[in-house]
Amino acid sequence: MNARRPSCVMMAGLIALAAMLAAAPVRAGAETLLRTRLNADIRSTDPGTNRDANTDGVMAHLVEGLVAFRDDTSIGPMLADSWDVSNDGKTYTFHLRQGVKFHNGAVMTSADVVWSLKRWLDPATQWRCLSEFSASGIAQIEKIEAPDTQTVAITLDRATALFLPTLARPDCGQAAIIHHDSVGPDGKWIAPVGTGPFKLGDWKRGQYVDLVRFDGYVARSEPRSGNAGAKTADVDRVRFNIIPDSSAAKAGLLSGALDVVSNLSIPDLEDLKGRPDVQLSITPALGLTGILFQTRDPLLKDLRIRRAIALSLDTPEIVDAVMEGTARANNSALPIGSPFYGEAEAHGYTQNVAEAKKLLVQAGYHGQPIKMIANKRYSYVFDSAVLVQAMAQSVGINIEIEVLDWAAQLDRYNRGDYQSMAFTYSARLDPSLSFEMLTGPKATQPRKVWDNPEAQVMMQQSMMIDDKAKRQELFDEMHRRFIDDVPMVVLFNGSEIAGLRKNVKGYAGWLFAQPRFWGVSIR
């Protein structure tokens, strides 16, 4: 293989990486330092508010909630040892773990839980999941009480199957229980004083985030599972280096300047295979990558044009080319790894060029350009857009790709300000939430892609019942309608792909594509 000359972008990334490592403070003694990479800086240290997937992943090391998702997407205990549910399904009584300490040494009591939950529910906090606990959400929280120092009772206005899963959601910051020292006297955020296995060290914006072992942490006795179970800090410090360029990150891994590179770029896999000093971790994940359509757009509001695009695509070919065998094609909003993914969900779109051309004629489409937004932060998003563009062109659809940085694309997505876009969603660990991230009224939630009132009713019903068979029936019917309406074309669920130096032990991926560095050591 001929050696490739490093690109200017890669060289800039390498120079930045070298500068970061040179600037790293030298610690005395035999400190163990695990060095990893983020492809972009975190947005804040306030979990579940100003956040994205990178922010969620870092904060998961610092804060914990009452409950957490296990590997199999079931709910396990975390700061609560157990809980009882009233006969009417509306009151949850949590029995707290004893001896849990915050990073400032204070012992957690029910008063801290009540304070934290009320802070999340304060509109001024701008908690991402506030709407879930409103009158129009899964249930409204009516009361939060502390009968004693180790007990918290939460009363809802109605029963819901999603109360615990919503508390556990990583994008909700796991409804983290934090100490009131996390905010100032004016209520403004300072820094997280949590209960996690690591404390926040230095955050040099645009350079790195340091997490430091919390010596006062007492792990749960159950094995590590998802965000639940035992969390042991087996290194003194974790450094998340901000390295946007994947080539620079790979070079850092190969040189030994980095110990772990998660969210590994697919094109880099081939270079890393067979390296004696590197090991690979490839785990199926629940994230979702696809092509969104703005169904209020003057052109794409025509179902026939959206369906023509869907029928122009050979989804398995796209996935094989983009993911190089690390993922499977899937047109369903439910990920393949979900316990509710069944025979109905396996049926999606099959490429049919003749039918696509026929639909375009019926719609009166004559080559009008369709702008598709993409980004290069996630290579698989841009690569998917390019292949979709080429396949759509074969039936006469004129797609023009506009590349934005991820922050700009996310802003456009949240405002519904696009014609079409190649987009990736982080994992949702309950099937109702997989549909919820896509389904809703565009008038009040412009980020939603599927504005189908009947689907919204079914989604709400799925959130209210615990019966698995009845939930499955609802999800199957929602899938069929989703495929019929074509608000987007789901392509695949992807994988968590990480490269590790051979001396890294204990790392494990899971269905939620988010690295966990508790239980990870360097030898």
Per domain, the residue ranges of the chain are: 288-493
Structure confidence at residue 5 (pLDDT): 44
* pLDDT confidence bin for 233, thresholds 50/70/90: very high
Alpha helices in 171-287 (DSSP H): 246-255, 269-272
Tokens of 109: 């009591």
Q: Is 326 helix (H, G, I), strand (E, B) or coil?
A: coil
Residue 1 has pLDDT above 50, yes or no: no
Alpha helices in 196-235 (DSSP H): none
284 and 341 in contact (C-beta within 8 Å)?
no
Structure confidence at residue 462 (pLDDT): 93
Tokens of 8: 């200017």
Q: Kindly state the average pLDDT of the residues 8-34.
A: 57
| Phi, psi angles (nearest 5°) of residue 457 | -65, -45
In this structure, the strands spanning 488-492 and 288-293 are antiparallel
For the chain, what is the mean pLDDT? 92
Q: How many CB atoms lie within 10 A of CB 179?
A: 20
Structure confidence at residue 2 (pLDDT): 40
Sign of the alpha-carbon torsion through 413, 293, 170, 375: negative
CATH superfamily of 288-493: Dipeptide-binding Protein; Domain 3 (3.10.105.10)
Alpha helices in 256-334 (DSSP H): 269-272, 303-312, 315-323
Residue 7 has pLDDT above 60, yes or no: no
451 and 295 in contact (C-beta within 8 Å)?
yes
Residue type, 201: G
Tokens of 40: 């972009």
Structure confidence at residue 367 (pLDDT): 96
Q: Is 313 helix (H, G, I), strand (E, B) or coil?
A: coil
Q: How far apart are CA 88 and CA 105, in angstroms?
A: 38
First-last CA distance in the chain: 33
Q: How far apart are CA 122 and CA 120, in angstroms?
A: 5
Q: Kindly state the average pLDDT of the residues 422-427.
A: 91
